[in-house]
Each structure stands twice: as C-alpha cells, then as structure tokens.
C-alpha cells in the first residue's frame, strides 16, 4: 500500500493486528497472504487496539493499520434516519469494515470512531446467516458498504464477490454497494443482477481534489461507472453530500453535465441528491480533530440532533442540482434526501 | 520536547554525552539531565520506580500531547535470531503481572527490528523461559507505557530495547551495558531527531490580538460562561472562513451592556455577524 503522506510515515497496513480467535479463519488467511511484508501482531480483542485512550485520528490516518477481528455484535442494523431508503420498506445496513481507505474532510467516520485504523470483520458468513434469518420474515433492502467503502477494499477482501453470490440465492434480498472507488474492474467479470445496486458517489473534480483525499477523482469514478454500465449494470448515481463551497454552482453544473454526457438515463437505476448533514456529536468531534477545516467552519444549523446548512443554502444547493439532474433523468427516478 | 526514560544511569550515559545533557541539580528525587529539547530521567529499576519517574517528568515539565516519550534500555531475548546488541522497537508490550497488553502506534519509519516485549517483576532466567510470551524481556517497559499513555497519545510513546543477553544468566556489568547502547546511540539519536518535529502542534486559530478583542467584548457585554464559549467557537469558525475577524469584532467592542436584556440583544447581533457567510 502506498503512503500518501510524508516519507517518514510507514505505509498503510504496515502492521496487521489479528485477533487470536480468527487466525484460522479462511478470510484471515487470504487477506494476510496479500500482505507478506507487513508485521503481524496477535491480539486478544480488536478493541484492545481500536479503542485505546488518547488516539490521534489524523495522525493514524497518515499510516492506518489493519485489524482482523470477529464481529460479535448485532451484525445487521436498521437503516439510519439521515439515509435514504429509496422507497424500500425494510431498510437495513451492515458494516463488515469499520473505517475507510479514503480521507474525506467531511466524513462522519472521524466523528464516530476514536481511531483511524481499519477493522475488518472476517466472519462474513455469520452476517449471511443473520440476513437469512431476517429474510424468513420479510424482504430486505441492505446497504453493505456502510461505515466504509467496500469496493475500495475488494482486492483485499473479495467480500463484494461473496455478497453478490449470496444475493443470487435470495430473490427477496436487495443490496446497495455504495462507493467512491474506481475499482469496478475487481468485479467486472461478475454477471449483473437486478437485486444488486452499484451506487457511485460523485463529486466535482475540484471537491475530489481538495476534500476527498485519497479517493479517485471524478473522471476515474465516472469511467468506472461507464465500465459497469457497458457490462449491463444499472447504477445509482449519488450527488451526496452536496457541499456549500466557493463556486459551487459552477462545480456542480460541470459535474452533473459531464456525468450525464457519459451515462445515459436508461442505464441509471436512480439518482440520489442530498446536502452535507451529520449528527451533532459527530460534528463536534470532527471540529475538534480538524479545527482549521473550511468545510466544517460553516455555521451549521441543528435540527433534531442533525447539523446541516441553513434552509436557504440547503434549498439553493438541492434545487440547483435537482433541476440540472431532471434535464437528463425522469423526476420519478430522482430522490432528494 | 523529547523525554528519554532509562532505568539505569549506565543506559543513560551514551545519550547524556551525545545530546550534551546537563544535570538538573534542582531535582533530587531522580537524576534528571536536560538541554533545551531533551529531558532524560533515570528511574531506577522496577515498575513502580518507572511509573513514578514518568509521572514526575510529565508534571514537572508540563509535557503536552506533542511531546515524545522514549524508554531506552537493555533487554533479554528469548529469540536467538536477535544478535546481542540488536536494537528493537516494541510493537506490543505485555505486562506479565496483570496480563494486560499495550500497543504503541507504529506510525513512523525506523531503522530498528520490531518485537513484542514482556515486562516482568523479577529477573527471568532459563527455568522460566517456557512461560515467556514476548520475544524480548525487561522489567520496566509495561510500566513505562501504562504510565505515559494516561497522558500521551500512543504514537508518541516508544520502547526501544537493546538485546544484551539470551536470558541465560550472563552477568552484565554497567560498562558492558553502556558499550552496547553506545554502539547503537548514533542510530537512535538520529531517529529521535527525525521524529521529534513530526505532528507538531498547529498554530492556534485565534491569536493574541483576537483574544484581546474577544475578552474586551466578554467584559463589556458581561457574557455568561456559555456565551463566552459560543463566542470563541463562532470567532474561530469566522476566522477560518474570512480571516478578517478583527473587522467583524471591532464595532462590538464599543458597546457596553448594563442589563441582561441589552446583553441578549447585542449578543444576538454579534452571533448574526459572526455567522454571516
């Protein structure tokens, strides 16, 4: 793994912490085989590393470590209020990975976790069992790339491939895989399925460069979408979060127009639009970590524990992007958060 | 600042020389040597001494999260692939007494080997070798990490050990210990200088002049504690967005509130001004 920062920092995943209980797990063995030069350190529980006192999120982000663990928690959670269910009745999410390879300045994960290290839960098969137990009661719409970017990790984990195989056996299960990655090539050989939604978050090139450090630029993401569409996938396009930055109108105009110049409406499942929004406590943590952030210096308004832009700016952003998107996509396909 | 903690004076000697440290004679409970950037304390052997020495220098020198703490000393090695004199940076530290494990953040590149250190309350010999879980063994590493990690982030705490024996009862003289460490001291000193300025404290957003204006408003408006916090937070955000904070604050320094009603009214105006986009 390359290091994006100072040459004095160790590369990402230079150290891999492995819970004693998962050393014999097949996923563990496969993942470790990809990091032959990393130092492997045995641990009792992932929280011994992940939940230490006084950790510095930003420093760790410069050289994140990988922690392989077993998830004994709930495995599946009901969908969050701030996330769109796209009209699906039984909306759930699951996190096989905590934290992300990218370093987006507005990312809520900085406010959620005290560590920037990446925890990868290797007991994916337990999640499948849990999903099957829920599927016996009703259909499920499940977001699997939550609290992480699963496609960015696909070369390491192979989890998306496993999920798509699993979905193939369950017609009443629909999954969303949301990403900023340009790594579609890692799954390009898989036959498209109607109940698997590949969703790309798109941001203007200027925003990618300035605020989405480590994530592929707009054109790379768009190219990945194009490859997916060419292989028969219907994709979800997410202009979310919209950011109130200097020149935002120009940036988003170019971004939306460039997107639909390449991707035709018939290949689009739907479009999601939403402004930056975040839980009050998470924002507080983020401001503490990154006090110099221009994005976070906005005088956010708080309603029901969620912070976002003023009503005026919210409307400006959403209406502008909505009107632009509706020039290319039917209104019934456009969801506003 | 860099704080070096050794158990013995013979472990400290090479660094006192290399960094030209001078003894601080005002301190008589521990031996402390220092220059403008480095403080070295000799704790004496054992976990209690080590924890006390760490707590002492943290308090005495008012260390902050931007300082670096390094425990340097000799260790025994269970692993015979480590040659005598090898310098080892510990990526895991086991406290043999409590069974607790500690993990320093391995953020920076280094020229050393890495290993797991286990700290014991007494000297470990061949008869006890089977029960040793770590690769290397000492008597203070766990206490050092545990004590310092109460105050400091885990990427600023390092245990650096030089292999002196294979737990085979080899008698070590103070001269031999100094010689072993001296041999590695150039490498260690160079690394310390490399990492010292990493993660330096970023400049405060509000400078002295900003704070003068803010304090004047606090005084003139007779702001409550909660209002004071709100004002400082808004002022910081405004300065990140606009930079010309003084211009925004200046008109409000001429206002004097005599009643709570006045304070509320003018404070709302001030908030409005600082929230302006």
Q: According to the model, what pLDDT value does residue B127 have?
A: 83
Rounded Cα–Cα distance for residues A296 and A290 (Å) = 8
**Residues B129 and B242 placed together within one structural domain of the fold:** no
Give domain status of residue B201, yes or no: no
**Residues B175 and B229 placed together within one structural domain of the fold:** no
Instruction: State the residue range of the domain holding B129.
Output: 2-196
**Residues B166 and B231 placed together within one structural domain of the fold:** no
Query: Mind telling me how many Å the CA of A244 is from chain B's nearest CA?
Result: 10
Give domain status of residue B237, yes or no: yes
Residues of B in contact with A43 (CB under 8 A): 92, 101, 103
Say if residues A222 and A258 touch (Cβ distance below 8 Å): yes
CB atoms within 10 A of CB B78: 19
- A20 close contact with B: CB closer than 8 A: no
Domains of chain A by range and CATH?
A: 15-336 (3.80.30.30)
Domain boundary among B155, B173, B196: B196
**Residues B19 and B156 placed together within one structural domain of the fold:** yes
Identify the CA nearest to A115 among candidates A42, A157, A65, A150.
A65
Average pLDDT, integer, range B138-150:
97
Flag if B154 and A299 touch (Cβ within 8 Å). no
Give domain status of residue B215, yes or no: yes
Say if residues A238 and A197 touch (Cβ distance below 8 Å): no
**Residues B183 and B251 placed together within one structural domain of the fold:** no
**Residues B177 and B47 placed together within one structural domain of the fold:** yes
**Terminal Cα distance for chain A, rounded:** 35
Q: According to the model, what pLDDT value does residue A3 have?
A: 45
Flag if B103 and A48 touch (Cβ within 8 Å). yes
Q: According to the model, what pLDDT value does residue B203 have?
A: 84
B128 or B179: which leads in pLDDT: B179
Domain boundary among B175, B196, B217: B196
Q: How many CA atoms lie within 13 A of B186 on its CB side?
A: 1
Give domain status of residue B101, yes or no: yes
Which string of DSSP letters, residue by residue, matches chain B? Answer: -EEEEESSHHHHHHHHHHTT-EE-TT--SSEEEE-SSEEEEE--SSHHHHHHHHHHHHHHTT--TTSEEEEEEEEEES-TTSPTT-EEEEEEEEETTT--EE-----B--SSEEEEEEE-SS---GGGGGG--SSEEESSHHHHHHHHHTTS-GGGEEEEEEEEE-SS-----HHHHHHHHHHHHHHHHHHHHHHHTTTPPPPPSS-HHHHHHHHHHHHHHT--HHHHHHHHHHHHHHHHHHS-HHHHHGGGGG----SHHHHHHHHHHHHHHHT--
| Residue in A closest to B92 by C-alpha | A41
Flag if A55 and B154 touch (Cβ within 8 Å). yes
Q: According to the model, what pLDDT value does residue A6 have?
A: 55
Rounded Cα–Cα distance for residues B27 and B89 (Å) = 30
- Compute the count of residue pairs across chains A and B with CB atoms less than 8 Å apart: 91
Domain boundary among B196, B219, B247: B196
Give domain status of residue B249, yes or no: yes
Which residues have a Cβ under 8 Å from the Cβ of B120 and sit 6 or more positions away?
B96, B97, B137, B138, B139
Residues of B with a Cβ under 8 Å from any A Cβ are 65, 91-92, 101, 103, 105-109, 114, 116, 149-155, 194-195, 198-199, 202, 205, 234, 236-238, 240-241, 274-275, 277
- A7 close contact with B: CB closer than 8 A: yes
| Residue in B closest to A296 by C-alpha | B237
Q: According to the model, what pLDDT value does residue A81 have?
A: 66
**Percent of the residues in chain B that have a pLDDT greater than 70, as a whole number:** 100
Say if residues B176 and B14 touch (Cβ distance below 8 Å): no
Rounded Cα–Cα distance for residues B141 and B115 (Å) = 13
**Residues B250 and B126 placed together within one structural domain of the fold:** no
Q: According to the model, what pLDDT value does residue A2 have?
A: 45
pLDDT in tens, chain A (337 residues): 444 445 789 999 999 999 999 999 999 999 999 999 999 999 999 999 999 999 999 999 999 999 999 999 889 998 876 666 777 788 999 999 999 999 999 999 999 999 999 999 999 999 999 999 999 999 999 999 989 999 999 999 999 999 999 999 999 999 999 999 999 999 999 999 999 999 999 999 999 999 999 999 999 999 999 999 999 998 999 999 999 999 999 999 999 999 999 999 999 999 999 999 999 999 999 999 999 999 999 999 999 999 999 999 999 999 999 999 999 999 999 999 8
User: pLDDT tens, A182-205?
Assistant: 999 999 999 999 999 999 999 999
**Residues B117 and B188 placed together within one structural domain of the fold:** yes
Q: According to the model, what pLDDT value does residue B21 have?
A: 97
**Residues B189 and B231 placed together within one structural domain of the fold:** no
pLDDT for residue B69 is more than 90: yes
**Percent of the residues in chain B that have a pLDDT greater than 90, as a whole number:** 89
- A135 close contact with B: CB closer than 8 A: no
Give domain status of residue B243, yes or no: yes
pLDDT for residue B181 is more than 60: yes
Burial class (CB within 10 angstroms; exposed 0-12, middle 13-18, buried 19+) of B200 = exposed
- A39 close contact with B: CB closer than 8 A: yes
Flag if B194 and A8 touch (Cβ within 8 Å). yes
- A54 close contact with B: CB closer than 8 A: yes
**Residues B252 and B155 placed together within one structural domain of the fold:** no
Average pLDDT, integer, range B90-103:
97
Query: Mind telling me how many Å the CA of B191 is from chain A's nearest CA?
Result: 10
Flag if A62 and B151 touch (Cβ within 8 Å). no
| Distances, alpha carbon A266 to alpha carbons A53, A190, A198, A229, A232, in Å | 51, 21, 15, 10, 11
Flag if A8 and B109 touch (Cβ within 8 Å). yes
Q: What is the CATH number of the domain that holds B74?
A: 3.40.50.1580
Q: How many CA atoms lie within 13 A of A177 on its CB side?
A: 29
Among candidates B154, B194, B275 on the partner chain, residue whose Cβ is nearest the Cβ of A52 = B154
Structurally, how many domains does chain B consist of?
Answer: 2
Q: What is the mean pLDDT of chain B?
A: 95
H/E element holding A230?
A: helix A218-230
Give domain status of residue B203, yes or no: no
**Residues B187 and B220 placed together within one structural domain of the fold:** no
Flag if A54 and B234 touch (Cβ within 8 Å). no
Tokens of B71: 């425990």
**Residues B174 and B62 placed together within one structural domain of the fold:** yes
Q: According to the model, what pLDDT value does residue B243 have?
A: 80
> At residue B88, what are phi and psi to the nearest 5 degrees?
-125, 125
User: pLDDT tens, A132-180?
Assistant: 999 999 999 999 998 999 999 999 999 999 999 999 999 999 999 999 9
| Distances, alpha carbon A64 to alpha carbons A167, B13, B155, B160, in Å | 31, 36, 12, 22
Give domain status of residue B18, yes or no: yes
């Amino acid at each position: 793994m390359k290091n994006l920062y100072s040459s004095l920092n160790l590369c990402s995943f230079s150290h891999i912490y492995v819970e004693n209980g998962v050393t014999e797990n097949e996923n563990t063995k496969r993942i470790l085989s990809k990091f032959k030069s990393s130092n492997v350190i045995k641990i009792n529980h992932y929280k011994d590393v992940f939940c230490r006192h006084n950790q510095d999120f930003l420093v760790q982000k410069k050289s994140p470590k990988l922690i392989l663990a077993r998830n004994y928690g709930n495995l599946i959670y009901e969908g969050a209020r701030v996330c769109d269910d796209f009209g699906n009745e039984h909306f759930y999410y699951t996190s096989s990975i905590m934290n992300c390879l990218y370093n987006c300045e507005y990312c809520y994960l900085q406010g959620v976790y005290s560590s920037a290290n990446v925890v990868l839960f290797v007991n994916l098969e337990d999640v499948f069992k849990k999903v099957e137990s829920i599927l016996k009661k009703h259909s499920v719409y499940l977001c699997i790339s939550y609290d992480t970017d699963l496609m960015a990790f696909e070369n390491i984990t192979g989890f998306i491939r496993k999920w798509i195989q699993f979905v193939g056996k369950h017609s009443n299960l629909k999954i969303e895989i949301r990403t900023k990655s340009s790594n579609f090539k890692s799954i390009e050989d898989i036959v498209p399925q109607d109940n698997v939604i590949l969703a790309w978050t798109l941001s203007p090139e200027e925003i990618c460069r300035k605020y989405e450090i480590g994530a592929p630029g707009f054109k790379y993401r768009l190219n990945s979408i194009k490859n997916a569409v060419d292989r028969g996938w219907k994709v979800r396009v997410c202009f979310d979060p919209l950011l109130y930055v200097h020149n935002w109108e120009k940036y988003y105009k170019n971004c939306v127009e460039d997107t639909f110049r390449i991707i035709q409406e018939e290949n689009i499942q739907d479009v999601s639009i939403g402004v930056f929004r975040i839980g009050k406590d998470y924002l507080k943590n983020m401001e503490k970590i990154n006090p110099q952030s221009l994005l976070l210096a906005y005088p956010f308004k708080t309603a029901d524990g969620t912070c976002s832009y003023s009503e005026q700016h919210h409307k400006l952003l959403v209406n502008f992007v909505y009107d632009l998107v509706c020039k290319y996509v039917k209104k019934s396909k456009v969801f506003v958060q | 600042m860099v704080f070096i903690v050794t158990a013995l004076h013979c472990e400290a000697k090479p660094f006192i020389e290399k960094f030209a440290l001078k003894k601080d004679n005002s301190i008589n409970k521990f031996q402390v040597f220092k220059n403008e950037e480095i403080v070295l304390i000799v704790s004496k052997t054992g976990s209690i001494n080590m924890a006390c020495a760490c707590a002492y220098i943290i308090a005495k020198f008012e260390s902050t999260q931007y300082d670096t703490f390094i425990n340097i000393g000799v260790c025994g090695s269970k692993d015979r692939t480590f040659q005598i004199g090898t310098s080892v940076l510990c990526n895991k530290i086991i406290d043999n007494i409590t069974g607790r494990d500690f993990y320093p953040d391995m953020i920076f590149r280094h020229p050393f080997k890495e290993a797991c250190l286990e700290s014991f309350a007494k000297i470990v010999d061949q008869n006890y070798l089977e029960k040793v879980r770590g690769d290397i063994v000492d008597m203070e590493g766990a206490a050092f990490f545990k004590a310092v990690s109460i105050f400091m982030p885990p990427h600023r705490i390092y245990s650096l050990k030089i292999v002196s024996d294979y737990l085979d009862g080899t008698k070590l003289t103070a001269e031999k210990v100094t010689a072993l460490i001296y041999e590695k001291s150039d490498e260690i000193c160079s690394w310390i200088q490399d990492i010292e300025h990493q993660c330096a404290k970023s400049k405060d957003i509000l400078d002295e002049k900003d704070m003068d204006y803010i304090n004047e408003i606090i005084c003139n408006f007779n702001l409550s504690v909660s209002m004071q916090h709100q004002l400082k937070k808004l002022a910081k955000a405004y300065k990140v967005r606009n930079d010309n904070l003084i211009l925004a604050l200046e008109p409000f320094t001429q206002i004097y509130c005599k009643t709570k009603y006045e304070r509320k009214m003018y404070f709302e105006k001030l908030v409005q001004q600082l929230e302006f986009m």
